[in-house]
Structure 1
Amino acid sequence: MTAQPDVETDPALVDLYKDLHRHPELGFQEHRTAGIVAERLGALGYEVTTGVGSTGVVGLLKNGDGPTALLRADMDALPVLEGTGLDYASTATATDQDGAVVPVDHACGHDLHTTCLLGAAAVLAGSTDTWAGTLLLVFQPAEELGAGAQALVDDRLFERFPRPDVVLGQHVAPLPAGKIAGHAGASYAGSDSLRVTIVGKGAHGSMPQSSIDPVVIAAATVLRLQTVISREIPSTAVAVLTVGSVHAGSAANVIPGEAELQLNIRSYDEGVREHVLASVERIVRGEMATAGAPGEPEITSIERFPVVVNDAGALGKTLDVFRGWLGPENVLDPGAGAGSEDVGVLATASGALLSYWLLGGTDPALFTTGNMTDPALLTVPSNHSPHYAPVIEPTLGIGVSALVRATRAWLPVA
């Protein structure tokens, strides 16, 4: 049975979602989105602060004595050319951090997150007899850069506003719309992206003896890096190391002076993470030394996401509410995911419990069993795909209702 929202979605909220989808913005560039969020929160009676962590928006609503709940939604989009064919598809472009003009698409669903939280903000502001305490609504920039949550913390979020007792949030996922999923403990992988520059000695392609070829060093490095997971990490641990970019030279008959690798590491344990990072540095330095390359490699961090750890008790409390509402068959355990998120930074920095779940957003008709063994999970478009776009209903309605119900559970009336 497909679950349905317990309130009818306001058509104006659907229009808002389509508008945000048409006008995506990259991380730390969410000026239009932030303006819409601030205007709507102000009209609902929230105390609004803009420009937090660059482009973040915070809405505060106090309703008597009680705990404080932080509800978080991310606002940024991706440098992706949308291929959904929807009548509200994005045709936007923007200038990225490297100065390149790129297409922009809400291919990860952050427009839905923002719309759901604004919808929940309206419901909660209009039903203050159903909850007690303090609502701290955080509309976060730059989640895709792995920098937005930390920017909020660095901008003294938890000194300027009440410290929360719990952080609540959701992320739309390629699960059947009407399903919610959550996993206790390490739920989403930590991620480290690195740029490795290997310096050799360039020469004419006809005179390799005059070179120290960084292409050969890079090739040897790529192969050797594959042994880190298979030969250095215990079989009971989980980690992934991917070399996603290799670049060197610009002509067939020229041996370049340097080569660049970009790689990504996913892990769930800090000890495993540190071991893999140390192994990367050891291997890169070793291959350069073996080749007699001059100098040292340059290894720089591109982005980092810490492991997201759901508090077992906090998530259990929230999912119990969802089970009573949607039915146990519609609340799933997806296991630990390899995707990464920075929402955990907000919980760690504030000392709050974290309860973070996945919101199904794909047409249920595409699934057979509708659970975590469904073969359609391997075939339907997923987040970051140019073809990814949630079905608006029942996804939007359930997303609003989930935030409202979770909030009421954590901010009960005495």
Structure 2
Amino acid sequence: MVSPGPLATARAPGPALDAGVLARAGSLYRDLHAHPELSGREERTAARFAAALREAGCAVTTGIGGHGVVGVLANGVGPAVMLRAELDALPVAERTGLPYASTAGALDGEGRRVPVMHACGHDLHLAAAVGAAAHLDRVRDRWRGTLLVLGQPAEETLTGAAALIEDGLYERFGRPDLLLAQHAAPLPAGMVAHGSGPMTAGCVTLEVTLTGRGGHAATPHLCVDPVVLAATVVVQLQTIVARQVGPAEQVTLTVGSLRAGHHPGVIPEEATLGVTIRALSDRALDDVRDRVVRTVRGCCEAAGSPVEPVLQVVSRTPAYRGDPEVAARLRAAHERTFGADRVAWWPSSLAAEDFPLLADGIPSGYWMLGVVGPRQWRAAPGGSAAEKLAALPANHSPSFAPYAGLALPAGVEALASGALTALAPE
């Protein structure tokens, strides 16, 4: 993986990005990348983000909905625009070879030490949001209103947006007239991409607890083995999408975790599954969830489980569909900023976000930010863009490494020009 080169500015009308703004944003990005934190534990990240927002001219409030941060840049009477960025990282062992690669670790919910990495670009989002605030602070004569910059905790667990709302985010800071977010994606760095339909999927995460009858490994006939039961459930769940959902539906069902037992000679009492369902419609999401419940209960009954299974909804978020009028204005602004050849279309994706919970009832926009460097793009196998995209390290990969030299300036300008569609409309 090539290392990001020097920060470079993108083409844009109006005042160019200040070199000092970009240098500080780049320094913040590298620091956050080297020191990632898991969802709900973003204490250091929040503190660094808050300090950077203060340096950018914002009045800052911390500790919202956990480690949430809000920076306020007031500039007279006018509309309010909120930029959302995420604080948290993932339990992934980094393999990028970057000079600022993460070596961090943390205890997970089971008390096990796991590696931690910014494998989804949240560090880039935070640095770009700070850069956009600093840029808009320098060009106050071009706009009027209030810029709000939100650092959201626990996006990866799809719980942070709800926590912010429950803690009175909008009661304390007001409902913005426009809410904006962007997300790193394996597109050429310096590009942005907009969608015309659902940008992200709805998602339900379930924790499924299966109860057996524990005992000695030498007498399995006297037990109900929850490990075997869990294996049966995993296999049967895969038939839901393959055989019970129409092929035209965009749905995925993933068992991402299976936990059971502590000793090879002991049949445990319980097994726990982590299940994620994603779909582009609430109807499909509810249908598959109901099928999961029936399948799990049927497997437990067939195995002679002594206790009914427990299925708990850990988190839920709807699909995100942006306002078409807002999307058109944002796309036009980005075409003016970057040129039409650097603004692409993005297809509907089964990636999930809790941004829709923040955007409920608020005009909003969401776009993808390219992060792949030129040499990495050229070296990727494949003769077409689709083949190259399939071969490149995607989000959540241990090799995911944004080319910050192009991606960060583009992210700053994309947010700043997007905000100006409301703060300084033509």
Is the TM value for this pair above 0.5? yes
The two structures have a TM-score, normalised by structure 2, of 0.89
Aligned to 2:3: none
1:233 to 240, 245, 248: 245
Cα RMSD (Å) of the superposition?
Answer: 2.5
8 Å Cα contact 1:198-1:214 kept in structure 2? yes
Q: C-alpha distance in 2, partners of 1:193/1:371?
A: 37
Aligned to 2:275: 263
Q: C-alpha distance in 1, partners of 2:257/2:41?
A: 26
Q: C-alpha distance in 1, partners of 2:277/2:404?
A: 34
Moved more, 333-342 or 194-203: 194-203
Q: Alpha-carbon deviation of 1:254? A: 5.0
Matches within 5 A, 1:175-254: 175-249=187-261, 254=266
Identify if the C-alpha distance between structure 1 residues 49 and 36 changes in structure 2 by more than 3 Å, giving closer, same or farther.
same
Q: C-alpha distance in 2, partners of 1:21/1:47?
A: 25
- Is 1:170–2:182 an aligned residue pair? yes
Deviation per CA, 1:309-345, whole angstroms, max 9, x where unpaired?
2222211210111122222222112211121111111
2:392 to 371, 376, 380: 380
Amino acid at match of 1:356: Y
1:147 to 156, 159, 166: 159
Q: C-alpha distance in 1, partners of 2:339/2:410?
A: 13
Deviation per CA, 1:245-266, whole angstroms, max 9, x where unpaired?
3444456665443333322211
Moved more, 143-152 or 238-247: 238-247
Q: C-alpha distance in 1, partners of 2:199/2:88?
A: 22
Amino acid at match of 1:367: W
2:113 to 93, 101, 106: 101
Q: Alpha-carbon deviation of 1:361? A: 0.5
Moved more, 176-185 or 5-14: 5-14
Deviation per CA, 1:117-154, whole angstroms, max 9, x where unpaired?
11111111111111122211111111112111111111
8 Å Cα contact 1:5-1:394 kept in structure 2? no
Aligned to 2:377: 367
Aligned to 2:138: 126
Deviation per CA, 1:171-204, whole angstroms, max 9, x where unpaired?
1111110211121332111222222222222344
**What secondary structure does 1:146 align onto?**
coil
Q: Alpha-carbon deviation of 1:373? A: 4.0
Identical aligned residues as a percent: 43
Identify if the C-alpha distance between structure 1 residues 376 and 3 changes in structure 2 by more than 3 Å, giving closer, same or farther.
farther
Q: Which runs of 5+ in 2 are unaligned?
A: 1-7
Q: C-alpha distance in 1, partners of 2:54/2:265?
A: 63
Deviation per CA, 1:391-410, whole angstroms, max 9, x where unpaired?
11111111111111111112
- Is 1:289–2:281 an aligned residue pair? no
Q: C-alpha distance in 2, partners of 1:94/1:253?
A: 29
Q: C-alpha distance in 2, partners of 1:43/1:209?
A: 67
**What secondary structure does 1:20 align onto?**
helix
- Is 1:13–2:59 an aligned residue pair? no
8 Å Cα contact 1:213-1:255 kept in structure 2? yes
Q: Alpha-carbon deviation of 1:41? A: 2.5
The two structures have a TM-score, normalised by structure 1, of 0.91
8 Å Cα contact 2:62-2:69 kept in structure 1? yes
**What secondary structure does 1:84 align onto?**
coil
Amino acid at match of 1:153: I
2:367 to 357, 373, 379: 357
8 Å Cα contact 2:250-2:350 kept in structure 1? no
Q: Alpha-carbon deviation of 1:297? A: 0.6
Q: C-alpha distance in 2, partners of 1:184/1:62?
A: 32
Identify if the C-alpha distance between structure 1 residues 277 and 321 changes in structure 2 by more than 3 Å, giving closer, same or farther.
same
Deviation per CA, 1:1-40, whole angstroms, max 9, x where unpaired?
x993443543232222212212222222222222222223
Deviation per CA, 1:267-323, whole angstroms, max 9, x where unpaired?
111111111111111111112222332120122234433322222221121011112
Aligned to 1:342: 354
Moved more, 196-205 or 166-175: 196-205
Amino acid at match of 1:221: V
Q: Which runs of 5+ in 1 are unaligned?
A: none
8 Å Cα contact 2:37-2:88 kept in structure 1? yes
Amino acid at match of 1:284: V
Q: C-alpha distance in 1, partners of 2:53/2:262?
A: 52
Amino acid at match of 2:364: L
**What secondary structure does 1:76 align onto?**
coil
Q: Alpha-carbon deviation of 1:85? A: 1.3
Amino acid at match of 1:134: T
Q: C-alpha distance in 1, partners of 2:412/2:292?
A: 43
Q: How many residues align?
A: 411
- Is 1:307–2:319 an aligned residue pair? yes
Aligned to 1:392: 404
**What secondary structure does 1:143 align onto?**
coil
